Amino acid sequence: MSDTLTARSLSRRRFVQSSGALLFAAQCPVGLSRKAYAGGAGAMMNSFVRIDPNNVITMLANNSEFGNGAYTVMSMMLAEELDVDYRSIALEAAPTTPEYYSPLFREYLTAGSVTTGSTFMPMRTAGAKARAMLLEAASQDWQVPSAELTTEGGKVTHAASGRSSTYGELLEAIHRLDIQPPETVALKDPSEFKILGKPARRYEGAGKVDGSAEFGIDIKLPGMLYGAIARPPVHSGSVIDFDATESLAMPGVVKVKAIRAGVVVLADSYWRAQKARAKLKIEWDRGVNDGVSSEQFYADYRALADTPGLLAEDIGDAIGALDAAETAGNVIEATYEMPLLAHATLEPMNCIARVEGDTCTIWSGTQYQSNDQEVISRFLGIPQQNVTIHRPLMGGSFGRRSSKTADYTVEAVEAAMGESVPVQIIWSREEDIRSGHYRPLFVHKLRGSVDESGMPEAWHQVAVGQSLMQGTKHDPGYMVRGIDIYSLDGCLQEPFGVFPYGTSYQIPNHRVESHNAPKKGIVPQEWRSVGHTHTGIAYECFLDEMAHKGGIDPMELRLRLTKDHARMNRVLSVLKEKCDWDKPLAPGRGRGVASRIYNISPVAQAVEVTVAENGDFTVDRVVCVVDCGFAVNPLGIEGQVEGGLAYGLGGVAFGNIDIVNGEVQQSNFHDYPVMRLPQMPKVEVHILPSDEPPTGIGEQATTPIAPAVANALFNATGRRVRRFPLSSQGFNLV
């Protein structure tokens, strides 16, 4: 911590502690602390704040907004310390320069549900430092003690003399008196907060009800051409030859050319481009993934799961305890299988690129612009700083727009090469489902035993699936002894690699192994809540099996297993009460529970289902308790919980991508169904009060919903689902 905090805030509150977690260390990258700012038109007070003479305050936002609420929480933090209305702050996407890299990732990346936690100190500090300069200028200029000055609504006021100036008006004095940013600054005590901790509506909400919010797909540049790409039927395929005679004769078509992604048709409208694309005749080389099938993945992974994997954790003697328990008949065994999933953001991938000489400009909805910049600069052979990125709002992301290959970005650049105008590539939904990146398919094999009291005694888990990080530039940071920490996130009792948390449970003998499945068939990609999307199901459903085996109520079991984990234990205690756990349900109905920790918020959910004879079921009620530290924006948190669990519920209910002979079988929302309004349960959200530093909430609610629903179906019917989605096993969410 570089740091700008006073002893006062250190001693009085715990916000400034790093919570034992390197991940959440409240680092403060407020740069430019000694850099001169420009006078005149507008002044950069520091990296994040610009003030104009007409008193427009602009925030430079270095986190992406894709529905996550980043712009809202960041503007709230800045506004709190600057004493202005957060909605009065203007906002600009910060440029792709190292000074705006995430202090956590050391890249320009919005991911991992860390925006609120990682900006909480920097944005407040930026606001407080700017305010300190304004106070200093007024104090010197008016010859009054700084302590007698107050700020409100973008003005500095000296009550005794009646003097008052807007922040913008004070710029001249800052310039004239050469006021420098302070090295350190006192932040408000949380008891003084007027904005933080109060429900706040979405910063950019107005444009999202009148149609004026501008997404990447909406941007129109002079002379721009639209591109539609015909993509190979198999991931890894490429063009051998093509005939575009018919396409070129169609109205509005300007050019057809082969690029690495396929054959691109450039036309003066998107409709014309994609209509002409349908007339292309293309000969494909199907590439190395020809013949790959997802059924074969399952078979191969099951076989691998029977062999020893890379050992991640070995507490006690799980193998010995299981062997001993075997003779007493106290061992259970199960294999859980989770399919490939597409993200299916509602705004399909798109990107505009303009290539001019040795510079490139893109307009792209992205979570990961330093990587886009890097990939483009490598591709074009130009310096990284010659790549400019404009980042509009995004119509959802869920991990898809953090592509390590920058697939939908660099292909637009390639399509724009040699063109004298900008080119916009828009993906159809079919391309999105068939040619995207996927949550990798995973198989988890588990064995467990219970002691005489029925409590879990030994746990042995082997996870098999394609690694997200292996062989990427993140390999050193997220691989431990060859193990991808995401493949096991939420399976280990102890902290692992840079993840400072374990499951919150204590099982005396606990062994977890991992196999990195061969990289083939697909490009694996983070999907909202990442590893938990499969580890959550495997761990929490098998724990439910253990509870059943030991004859212990699953809620009670979790309460006992977390007795040494105060935060999770509190979450579960509140949940038990709020969800009426002990209230009997009618026949055909069932209840399930799951509790998870992800980056580093504990969250638990209890769900109630009603199942019909034919397997149709409804999720009637979900009660969710979260502890995400200090709740910066309770209204936003509630929305993220509702949305996060909807995303996970759709995934577990019917999310499924099949690959046969290398080709994805699904293509659009009719065969890749997603959650719809009638399927949405009633959701009750309970945010536990806390003065711990804020931690993640964007993905947390996605983690327990899938196992909680599967456990509830077991509770209602006695049928245990171990292969997903639920719809493949006769359970249809209606």
Partner 1 sequence: MKLTVNGNEVEVTSEADTPLLWVLRDELNLVGTKFGCGIAQCGACTVHLDGVAIRSCVTPVAAVANKDIQTIEGQATETGLSPVQQAWLETDVAQCGYCQSGQIMAATALLAQNANPSDPEIDAAMAGNICRCGTYPRIRKAVHLAAALIAEEQSA
| Contact partners, residue 381, CB within 8 Å, separation at least 6 | none
Strand-pairing partners, residue 311, are: 513
Cα(324)–Cα(334) distance, integer angstroms: 18
Strands 281-285 and 163-166: unpaired
Cα torsion 112, 113, 119, 121 to 10°: value is -100
Residue 67 or 524 with smaller CB distance to ligand FES = 67
Residue 91 or 559 with smaller CB distance to partner 1 = 91
Torsion over CA: 529, 534, 538, 541 (sign): positive
Residue 71 or 499 with smaller CB distance to partner 1 = 71
Compute φ and ψ for 143, nearest 5 degrees. 60, 45
Q: Which residues bind partner 1 (CB under 8 A)?
A: 66-69, 201-202, 204-215, 217-218, 220, 226, 251, 269-272, 344-348, 393-398, 426, 428-429, 635, 639-640, 642-647, 668-670, 674-678, 680, 682-683
Asked if omega into 725 is within 30° of 0 (cis), the reply is yes
Residue 398 or 438 with smaller CB distance to partner 1 = 398
Beta carbon of residue 550, minimum distance to partner 1 (angstroms, whole number): 35
Decide if residue 396 touches ligand FES (CB under 6 A). yes
Beta carbon of residue 161, minimum distance to ligand FES (angstroms, whole number): 50
Beta carbon of residue 233, minimum distance to ligand FES (angstroms, whole number): 24
Binds ligand FES (CB under 6 A): choice among 160, 206, 278, 346: 346
Nearest alpha carbon to residue 597 among 495, 480, 461, 709: 495
Residue 300 or 642 with smaller CB distance to partner 1 = 642
Beta carbon of residue 5, minimum distance to partner 1 (angstroms, whole number): 32
207 binding partner (options ligand FES, partner 1, none; Cβ < 5 to 8 Å by kind)? partner 1
Residue 67 or 531 with smaller CB distance to ligand FES = 67
Cα(401)–Cα(391) distance, integer angstroms: 12
Per the rule left: phi > 0, alpha: psi between -120 and 50, beta: everything else, 93 is beta
Beta carbon of residue 349, minimum distance to ligand FES (angstroms, whole number): 15
Question: Cβ(229)–Cβ(431) under 8 Å?
Answer: yes
Residue 524 or 698 with smaller CB distance to ligand FES = 698
Decide if residue 650 touches ligand FES (CB under 6 A). no
Instruction: Looking at 54-213, list the stretches that DSSP marks H as alpha helix, in order from N- to C-terminal side.
Output: 70-82, 115-142, 171-176
Max CA distance (Å), the chain: 88
Binds ligand FES (CB under 6 A): choice among 67, 309, 422, 497: 67
Decide if residue 206 touches ligand FES (CB under 6 A). no
38 binding partner (options partner 1, ligand FES, none; Cβ < 5 to 8 Å by kind)? none
Distances (CA, A) of 472 to 460, 475, 523: 29, 5, 12
Residue 67 or 536 with smaller CB distance to ligand FES = 67
Cα(175)–Cα(178) distance, integer angstroms: 5
How many chain residues bind ligand FES (CB under 6 A)?
3
36 binding partner (options partner 1, ligand FES, none; Cβ < 5 to 8 Å by kind)? none
Beta carbon of residue 430, minimum distance to partner 1 (angstroms, whole number): 8
Beta carbon of residue 684, minimum distance to partner 1 (angstroms, whole number): 10
Q: How many CA atoms lie within 13 A of 161 on its CB side?
A: 15
Cα(556)–Cα(622) distance, integer angstroms: 18
635 binding partner (options partner 1, ligand FES, none; Cβ < 5 to 8 Å by kind)? partner 1
Which residues make up the interface to ligand FES (CB under 6 A)?
67, 346, 396
